[in-house]
Chains A and B, each alone.
Chain A
Amino acid sequence: MRSRFQQGLDELKEKLLRMGGLAEQAIDRATEAYRTRDSKFCQMVLTGEAAINDAEREIDELALDLLAMQQPMAVDLRFILAVLKINADLERVGDQAVNIAQRVLDLISEPEVPLPVDIPRMADGVSTMVQRALESFLDGKAEVAEAVLQMDGIVDRMKDEAFVNLVQKMHDDPACTRQALDVLLIARNLERIADHATNIAEDVIFWVRGADVRHGGAHYRE
């Protein structure tokens, strides 16, 4: 096997996983910020975004070079394509974490009020999805990726529930509308992160099986 090419592929994988780690860290810090109401965690998320964006750039460049110089085929080609897409999803995850951190900063500036939503629980679920999706990429295991696809439904339900409850709360107690709105947005950000985790899982399945399972169907090449 062309060893330079294999080295390139390995490097690509490593870089992407490292970026995934940064994204996971951003989610965790944002969650911690919400739980502790400590603005230092928010700052960490905000300053950490630059690293994520740099990583995205690096990965895109490396992938482009490999495509141009090595003319990859079949599984290698699918791998690089998957990496490019996961790259984009992870960068968006970073953005969502930043949005959450900004919402938390806003919450901190307001008085604390009890709200009928368990954000940390939802965040845990979402964080697990991202973790599992990246695991499936690391190991090249399509079954693990499929499990992630299953979890998306749960998170969606949690978000819908949160919406209903928060809207009700805003109606009942207009004084805490601001906080409720912040939390609503945080819930939505988390749901978006879950969608990105799902995308990542679909890309892994595409890479490993050559099947396009996006948008709910399994589409194998005839």
Chain B
Amino acid sequence: MGVGIEVRGLNAWYGKNQSLKSIDMTVPANHVTAVIGPSGCGKSTFVRCLNRMHETIPEARAEGSVKVGQMDVYGGGSDPVEVRRRIGMVFQKPNPFPTMSIYDNVAAGLKLNGFRNRKQMDALVERSLKLSALWEEVKDNLHKKSGASLSGGQQQRLCIARALAVEPEVLLMDEPASALDPISTSKIEELIFQLKQHYTVVIVTHNMQQAARVAELTGFFLMGSLIEFDKTEKIFTAPADKRTEDYVTGRFG
């Protein structure tokens, strides 16, 4: 089951540039929340701050409070590696590990964190591949085919399975379908809709129609600030802020 995310006063910088300004947001558990906004508005930065991926970039830092369930992500004793184990991430361009088989790809997070039990690993791999709707297509070639030999849409589902295998509570997706064709995209969207039963999903997208299709809540970012955060239907039929309206109607961005 997923957990909620409480963000209070989140600020982030790349070197001297402040890319996030005092963000407050409450992401409810087991919902899909979309983050939209024009290029450079900070939406990807925001999501990467949730699992402390932001700081892997040299000269990047973040401050503020992010609580994922009971876990205080930026708290005193918090270990970024541990945080990232409990929050899964799927990236824009599918990035399966190139030299590994399908099985090894999905199990990578488990194996490389010391997991040993073979039978349990098999079960987890199968479960993850089923959750990401890839099992039927690959179950006969788990160990023989490499992750990179799959099509784009399949690769992305493989990456989703890989993220799910370590049983995170939250799944972050940074424009997961932007590199895919329409049919793969709609499969991924269908998947996201299913996933929210088990996980809390936050998805960054520059495609407003996609946000409208998959998310229950939507946050609009502009120049590092969260302008409006509300039910998706409201944002797309009658947004409260003029800037939001200008963005969703395509008048800029």
Which A residues contact B (CB, under 8 angstroms)? 1-2, 5, 71-78, 210, 220-222
Residue pairs across A and B with CB atoms within 8 Å: the count is 41
A6 to B236, alpha carbons, bound, how many Å? 18
In the complex where A74-B239, A74-B245, A221-B238 touch, is A1 in contact with B251 (Cβ < 8 A)?
yes
Interface assignment of B114: CB less than 8 Å from any CB of chain A = no
Q: Pick the contact of B249 from A76, A210, A221 — CB < 8 Å?
A: A76
A222 to B240, alpha carbons, bound, how many Å? 10
Interface assignment of B76: CB less than 8 Å from any CB of chain A = no
Are the C-beta atoms of A221 and B236 separated by less than 8 Å?
Answer: no
Min CB distance B103 to A, Å, is: 41
Interface string of B230-244 (1 = CB under 8 A from A): 010111111100001
Are the C-beta atoms of B250 and A5 separated by less than 8 Å?
Answer: yes
B249: A residues at CB distance < 8 A: 1, 72-76
Minimum CB distance partner of B252 in chain A: A1
Are the C-beta atoms of B234 and A73 separated by less than 8 Å?
Answer: no
Minimum CB distance partner of A76 in chain B: B249
A77: B residues at CB distance < 8 A: 236-237
A207 to B203, alpha carbons, bound, how many Å? 30
Are the C-beta atoms of B250 and A75 separated by less than 8 Å?
Answer: no
B108: A residues at CB distance < 8 A: none
Min CB distance A222 to B, Å, is: 7
Interface string of B205-229 (1 = CB under 8 A from A): 0001100100000000000000000
Q: Pick the contact of A71 from B209, B233, B244, B251 — CB < 8 Å?
A: B209
Are the C-beta atoms of B209 and A74 separated by less than 8 Å?
Answer: no
Are the C-beta atoms of A73 and B236 separated by less than 8 Å?
Answer: yes
Min CB distance A211 to B, Å, is: 8
Which B residues contact A (CB, under 8 angstroms)? 208-209, 212, 231, 233-239, 244-245, 248-251
What DSSP secondary structure best describes chain B's contact surface?
A: helix
A210 to B244, alpha carbons, bound, how many Å? 14
Are the C-beta atoms of A75 and B245 separated by less than 8 Å?
Answer: yes
A2: B residues at CB distance < 8 A: 250
Are the C-beta atoms of B238 and A73 separated by less than 8 Å?
Answer: no
Min CB distance A166 to B, Å, is: 45
Q: List 21 A-B contacts (CB under 8 A).
A: A1-B249, A1-B250, A71-B209, A73-B212, A73-B236, A73-B237, A73-B249, A73-B250, A74-B235, A74-B236, A74-B244, A74-B245, A74-B249, A75-B238, A77-B236, A78-B238, A210-B237, A210-B238, A220-B238, A221-B238, A222-B231
Are the C-beta atoms of A73 and B233 separated by less than 8 Å?
Answer: no
Min CB distance A52 to B, Å, is: 30
- Candidate in A73, A210, A222 with the most chain B CB atoms within 10 angstroms: A73
Known contacts A74-B235, A75-B238, A222-B231; can you find 20 more A-B pairs with CB under 8 A?
A: A1-B251, A2-B250, A5-B250, A71-B208, A72-B249, A73-B208, A73-B212, A73-B237, A73-B249, A74-B236, A74-B239, A74-B244, A74-B245, A76-B249, A77-B237, A78-B237, A210-B238, A220-B238, A221-B234, A221-B238
Minimum CB distance partner of A72 in chain B: B249
Are the C-beta atoms of B208 and A74 separated by less than 8 Å?
Answer: no
Min CB distance B218 to A, Å, is: 11
Min CB distance B31 to A, Å, is: 16
- Candidate in A1, A2, A75, A78 with the most chain B CB atoms within 10 angstroms: A75
B239: A residues at CB distance < 8 A: 74
A77 to B239, alpha carbons, bound, how many Å? 12
Cβ-closest 3 pairs across A and B? A210-B238, A73-B248, A1-B251
Min CB distance A149 to B, Å, is: 20
Minimum CB distance partner of A71 in chain B: B209
Min CB distance A123 to B, Å, is: 37
A210 to B245, alpha carbons, bound, how many Å? 12
B233: A residues at CB distance < 8 A: 221
Minimum CB distance partner of B244 in chain A: A74
Min CB distance B94 to A, Å, is: 26
Minimum CB distance partner of B209 in chain A: A71
A5: B residues at CB distance < 8 A: 250
Are the C-beta atoms of B251 and A74 separated by less than 8 Å?
Answer: no
Are the C-beta atoms of B250 and A221 separated by less than 8 Å?
Answer: no
